Structure 1
Amino acid sequence: MDSVKLLFASTILCLWIITGESIMNGDEAAPHSRPYMASIQKNGNHECGGFLIASQWVMSASHCFQDGVGGRKIVLGAHSLSADEDTKQTFDIVAVYNHPDFNKAIYDNDISLAKLSRPAVETDAVKQLKYAREGAADPQEDAEVETAGWGFTDNLGSKPDKLQELSIAVVGRHICGRSRSYGPNFTKNMICANKRGQDTCAGDSGGPLLYKGIAVGITSNGGKCGSSRKPGLYTIISHYTQWIDQTMTQ
């Protein structure tokens, strides 16, 4: 029995390491109320989130593409992952550009751009999301921010079929930089956020963190989902304006 429990725990841990973050104790989003959301899938299975920032570009997290494109596709316009929704647009990925300074040990510079095989058709269910650029002020401690995704809803690997959303609060940098939290691994390129029992978890990586309707962060990584000691980590988008602009000219 002990060996079975150990195997189960190891499997869950492995899944968490692979996929990064998901929504715990959130709510189902109104269908297509977040039309910028992207589901990054492999063999028809959701792996990571992302969001449309230009007609042919989706922003996500580098750790979602550590092996490159890898046969993945991107689905826009989805609410239910399983339903045959006529709002869905599915794309091959022409190329993936991970930030050259991505540090997979601590998830620093965890930002990626995926180029779609064709421009997305804008509809009520598919729209671009504005993102913070250089010079934009980061949301301060206790500011309310929003995130969304199809990631795990608990630490046992329960997966939602429909898009979940969550309002959380920015956690002070001095807290996430403590030795009992992330210590020196919490870099200037990161922001952390959660609420008691509410957090992102495995499968939400790459999705946006929004402040006043603008994407200010990318869901990156964290500790145990829902942990007050290690809130979810988000990459600060405004630190990468020059790299984003240069990459999207390719």
Structure 2
Amino acid sequence: MASKGGMIAAVAVCIFALISQSEAVIGGREAVAHSRPYMASIQLVAGEQRSHECGGFLVGEQWVMTAVHCFPQGAGNRKVVLGMHSLTEPEDTQQVFDILELHTNPTYRAENYDNDIALIKLDRPVNITSAVQVVRVLRSGGTNPTTDEQVDTAGWGATDNLGSRPVNLKELTVEVVDPMFCGRSDYFGNRYTRNMICAHHVYNKPGSRRQQKEDTCGGDSGGPLLFKGVVVGIVSNGGIKCGQLRKPGIYTIVSHYTAWLDGIMGPQPTVPPQ
């Protein structure tokens, strides 16, 4: 019978092998603090503690856009934090809100994350500052990115397949993947719909033929995908197959939901940048 120490070592080797073979999430960089002032952290409250669960982004003075699947049992015990860079350090830029209303798209399909878009109405209007600002969202009739075009995203999601989390906001540039690939059976098959964009960044590690990739992961859900500074997508199920080459991140195309969004939010005042 192997010793306890030998068994622990064997388990560690197995875990390392699994990570190595699954192209674990690599890359991204820490964002300049508050350079993405629209970013929101949706946090679960337990006593005096709050923990980051999902991302979101500010689209109106009292509205945050995010993903439906971040709320499997509704909005209970959650708060929204704006003006945040660090998950652990106190920052006087932060504004903390209760969720007054949660609007989930009625056509959302949990089996494949189709129509994964939600709106949060905050309990009060935000205080617009240099660290808290509204971002533009692509509307119906606008131009979405096409295959190989660069888009960018940000979040506090996992940095590897073991769930390690960054302390500070990270950002990432990825490329749109041909939807014909994403609809193939060895990618997502019929789970992939016309309401989705898939994207990742694949590269060869220096000195190696083995491909690596950069991608969104668990905890990034609900965050924005931007094309030329305008939000075109919402991080949807990028976290399910983190780092696997044939499982790019999937993003909900926001311009497909303009009428639904307008019906909830109504006309929004123009908010000048700080």
Once the two structures are superposed, residues 169-204 of structure 1 have per-residue CA deviations (whole angstroms, 9 ceiling, x without a partner) of 000001101010011110000000001210000000
SS in structure 1 of the partner of residue 199 of structure 2: strand
The answer for the alignment partner of 2:215 in structure 1 is: 199
SS in structure 2 of the partner of residue 113 of structure 1: strand
The answer for the alignment partner of 2:228 in structure 1 is: 212
Q: What is the CA distance between 1:230 and its match in structure 2?
A: 1.0
Question: Which residue of 88, 93, 108 corresponds with 2:99?
Answer: 93
Answer yes or no: is 1:68 the counterpart of 2:74.
yes
The answer for the alignment partner of 1:182 in structure 2 is: 188
The answer for the alignment partner of 1:225 in structure 2 is: 242
Q: What is the CA distance between 1:228 and its match in structure 2?
A: 1.5
- Letter of the 1:203 partner, please give it: G
- Letter of the 2:74 partner, please give it: G
The answer for the alignment partner of 1:47 in structure 2 is: 53
Is 214-223 or 37-46 further displaced after alignment? 214-223
SS in structure 2 of the partner of residue 174 of structure 1: helix
Once the two structures are superposed, residues 52-93 of structure 1 have per-residue CA deviations (whole angstroms, 9 ceiling, x without a partner) of 000000000000012111110000000001111000000000
SS in structure 2 of the partner of residue 244 of structure 1: helix
The answer for the alignment partner of 1:245 in structure 2 is: 262
Larger radius of gyration: 2
The answer for the alignment partner of 1:13 in structure 2 is: none
% identical equivalent positions: 55
Matches within 5 A, 1:91-240: 91-196=97-202, 197-222=213-238, 223-240=240-257
The answer for the alignment partner of 1:17 in structure 2 is: none
- Letter of the 1:180 partner, please give it: D
Structure 1 runs of 4+ with >6 Å offset: none
Question: Which of the pair has the greater relative contact order for Cα pairs under 8 Å at 6+ separation?
Answer: 1
SS in structure 2 of the partner of residue 87 of structure 1: coil
Q: Which runs of 5+ in 2 are unaligned?
A: 1-6, 16-24, 203-212, 268-274
- Structure 2 Cα separation of the partners of residues 176 and 140 of structure 1: 13
- Structure 2 Cα separation of the partners of residues 136 and 178 of structure 1: 27
Q: Which runs of 5+ in 1 are unaligned?
A: 10-22
The answer for the alignment partner of 2:21 in structure 1 is: none
Q: What is the CA distance between 1:247 and its match in structure 2?
A: 1.3
Matches within 5 A, 1:4-23: none
- Structure 2 Cα separation of the partners of residues 26 and 202 of structure 1: 14
- Letter of the 2:254 partner, please give it: I
